[in-house]
Amino acid sequence: MISEIATAPSGPRNDTLEKYMPVFEYAGINSQRKKAGGVIEAENERAARQKLRKMGVFPQSLTLEGGARKKLSLNSNIDFSSLTQRIKLQDIATMTRQMATLANAGIPLVDALTALVDQIENPKLKKVITQIREKVTEGMKLSDAMRAHPKIFNNLYVNMVNAGENSGAMDVVLVRLADFTEGQAKLRSKVIGALIYPAIMSIVGVVLMISLVVFVVPKITAIFDDVQATLPLPTRMLMAVSNALTTPWIVILLLILIPMGIYAVLRWVKTPKGREYYDRRMLKLPLFGKLTRMIAISRFSRTLATLLNSGVPLLTAMDIVKNIVTNTIIRRAIEETRTSVQEGASVSDPLRKSGEFPPIVTHMIAIGEKTGELEKMLERIADAYDTQVENTVGTLTTLLEPIMILVMAGVVSFIVMSILLPILQLNQLGG
C-alpha cells in the first residue's frame, strides 16, 4: 500500500503528499527498446514522466490508477484493491527465484527490478516491486525498501537481503532465499493439499447426516407416534435429535449459540494463557502433536541454517527464528536458548534442557557446534524432518479416510437400527 512506503533519505518531504501520492499506470519502451509497463508514484503526471525517463523508460501512455483516484477522493489511506488481491507465498518464491537468476547473470539491481515488474503477473506484487524499484533508484538499499512492506517481506527475508548487501554476495543469498521460500511453499502446499480432501469429506458427511435426520427420519418415525409400547432407547434418542433439529426456536438458538461459542473460544485462544494452553494440548495430541512438533523443528532448523549461511549473526538469527515458530511452547524454548547463548552458552544445551526438542536434534546440533559445521547439521535436521512430515501427512491422510468412512457408516447404521428395532418389536408383539 502507498501508505506503507518509507520516506527516502534524500531529503525532507511533505508527509501529506507522501501519504496520498497518486499512482500512475504506464506503458512504454525501455532503453533496450523493449516494452515496459507497470505503476509509478509521483506528485503529478509531469513528475511521473520525469521519473520514468530517469529509469530509462520512455512512456507512451500514462493514466492515473483507479485505486489511487478513489483513495484521493475519499481522503483515506485504505487500499481497497488489497481486499480482492492476495500475494501467495508461491508468488514470493517465484519472484525470488527470478531475482536470483537475474543477479547471477550480473544484471544491475535496478534493471533486474524493472525486469521483475514486467514479469510478475500478480497485480499487487507488481505494484510493490515497482515501489521498491523507485526507492532503490532514489538511493535506498533494497533491504530498507523491502522493510516498508512487512506483510510481504518478513524479518527473515529482509535480514537475509541485508546480509547479502553487506557481504557483497547478493546472488548467493538470493539463491538460498529462493530455495528456502520455495521449500516453505512446497511444505505448506503438501500439508494443505493433504487435508483438503478429508475436510471436504467431513463437510459433505455432516450435511448428509443432518439432511437425513431433518428430512427423512421424521417421515419414517411418524408411524411410531401412535405406538403405546415403549420404544427402544436408540429410537427415542434419534427422534429427540430429529425433533430438536426441526423445532424452529431450537434451531435459531443453536444458530446463535454455536457461532458465539466459536467466537468466544477463538478470542480466548488469542489471549496469552489461552494460546499457551492450546499450544501445549496440541503438542500432546496423538499424531497431530507429533506433526506439529516436526513442522516447528523443521522450520526452526531450516531458517536458522539459511540465516547463518547468509552471514546473519547468531543472536540476530535466533531473534528472527523465534518469530516464525507459531507454537508458543517451542517459541519460549527458543527465546530461553537465545538468552543463554547471549550469556555464553551453546545452542544445544538450552534446547536439550527445555525438553521440547528430541534428543537426536540436540545431539546433532552439539556435534555441529563442536565441528564448526552447525549450518550443515541444521540443514540435515531440516531435511530429515521434512521427510518425516511428508510421511506423517501421508499416513494421516491414509488414516483419516477410513476413519471418516467408519464414522459415517456408524451414524447411518445407528439411524437404520433405530428405525428397524421398533418395527421388529411391533412384529413380535403382533405375532
Question: Taking residues 325-330, what's their average pLDDT?
Answer: 86
* pLDDT (0 to 100) of residue 69: 42
CA proximity to 341, closest of 308, 297, 386 = 308
b/e map of 319-349 (b: 16 or more CB within 10 Å)?
A: bbbbebbebbbbbbbbbbbbebbeeeebbbb
pLDDT band at 40 (very low <50, low <70, confident <90, very high): confident
Which pTM value belongs to this model?
0.61
Other Cβ atoms less than 10 A from the Cβ of 412: the count is: 14
Pair 251, 343 in one domain:
yes
80/396: higher pLDDT: 396
Question: Taking residues 308-337, what's their average pLDDT?
Answer: 85
Alpha helices by DSSP H, 168-247: 170-211, 217-221, 233-245
Pair 233, 360 in one domain:
yes
Pair 284, 334 in one domain:
yes
pLDDT band at 9 (very low <50, low <70, confident <90, very high): very low
Question: Taking residues 21-30, what's their average pLDDT?
Answer: 73
Pair 121, 242 in one domain:
no
Pair 104, 234 in one domain:
no
- Please report whether residue 176 resides in a domain: no
* pLDDT (0 to 100) of residue 174: 83
- Please report whether residue 177 resides in a domain: no
Number of domains observed in the structure of the chain: 2
Domain hosting 238: range is 184-431
Residue 186 confidence (pLDDT) above 90: no
Residue 196 confidence (pLDDT) above 90: no
Pair 285, 381 in one domain:
yes
Q: What is the largest CA-CA distance in the chain?
A: 101
- CATH code (residue 300): 1.20.81.30
- Please report whether residue 77 resides in a domain: yes
71/114: higher pLDDT: 114
Residue with cell 522493510: 147
- Please report whether residue 75 resides in a domain: yes
Pair 264, 134 in one domain:
no
CA proximity to 55, closest of 112, 123, 10 = 112
**133 neighbors 117 (Cβ within 8 angstroms):** yes
Residue with cell 517465484: 94
Question: Taking residues 290-301, what's their average pLDDT?
Answer: 87
pLDDT band at 18 (very low <50, low <70, confident <90, very high): very low
DSSP code per residue over 271-303: SHHHHHHHHHHHHHSTTHHHHHHHHHHHHHHHH
Pair 195, 336 in one domain:
yes
For residue 33, count CB atoms less than 10 angstroms from its CB and return exposed for 0-12, middle for 13-18, buried for 19 or more: exposed
Pair 229, 354 in one domain:
yes
What are φ and ψ of residue 37, in 5° steps?
A: -160, 165
- Please report whether residue 410 resides in a domain: yes
- Please report whether residue 203 resides in a domain: yes
- Please report whether residue 161 resides in a domain: no
Distances 14 to 19, 287, 401 between C-alpha atoms, Å: 9, 56, 60
Mean pLDDT of the chain: 78
- Please report whether residue 330 resides in a domain: yes
Pair 120, 214 in one domain:
no
Pair 262, 363 in one domain:
yes
